[in-house]
Amino acid sequence: MRLVIARCSVDYAGRLTAHLPSAPRLILVKADGSVSVHADDRAYKPLNWMSPPCSLKEGDGDVWTVENKGGEKLIITLEEVLHDSSHELGVDPGLIKDGVEAHLQELLADRIETLGEGYSLIRREYPTAIGPVDILCRDADGQTVAVEIKRRGEIDGVEQLTRYLELLNRDPHLAPVKGIFAAQEIKPQARVLATDRGIGCVVLDYDGLRGIEDDKLRLF
């Protein structure tokens, strides 16, 4: 991971345009190819970012151009570099899910047909280079489906599933792979982002999966 603290301005050109005026900011360049720009007052959320796969070109005059396969560009103009360092973090062991998420995964894997008639399980915790996919399965048409499970579905979970789908779709034995984002509660912003990326959303009924109440999932 490369960490750069610099006074910079940022311009985004794609489906819309956006401009960040000059200010000190943190720029993260990760091993997966993603580039994100952070301020000191937004918790973990970046001001702007480019998800992988994308390319970074450091041009003349301290201008960085980050471009994805869709032709969208993030142009970062560095005015003063205060810090620039790189660190090898290695392979992350991944998040250890709490009891409810782990149990949801187990229940849904055992009752995978509740996602739809004809669904079949490939395996739980399907390994990828950036961590395991909660559930990998096939739908009635034989298409591969990756399922990411959360207690509360937020934008970060959609981003995580998006990264998994990027990797899985590079495997000719699995592609094309579609995604389902499953949670007990899905935030409106996460649903909008998932829909925009062609990812299905499922609201999970924990008690229903355990057989306490109605045993159906609501698929939207």
Tens digit of pLDDT for each residue in 167-190?
A: 999 999 999 999 999 998 999 999
Domains of the chain by residue range: 1-84, 98-208
pLDDT over threshold 90, residue 159: yes
pLDDT at residue 196, as a whole number: 95
The lowest-confidence range among 62-66, 101-105, 159-163 is 101-105
pLDDT at residue 99, as a whole number: 53
Q: Which amino acid makes up residue 191?
A: R
pLDDT at residue 95, as a whole number: 56
- What fold characterizes domain 1-84? Protein Yojf; Chain: A; (2.70.180)
Tens digit of pLDDT for each residue in 28-71?
A: 999 888 999 999 987 778 999 998 889 999 987 799 999 998 89
Distance separating the N- and C-terminal Cα atoms of the chain: 37
pLDDT at residue 215, as a whole number: 43
CATH code of 98-208, in short, is 3.40.1350.10
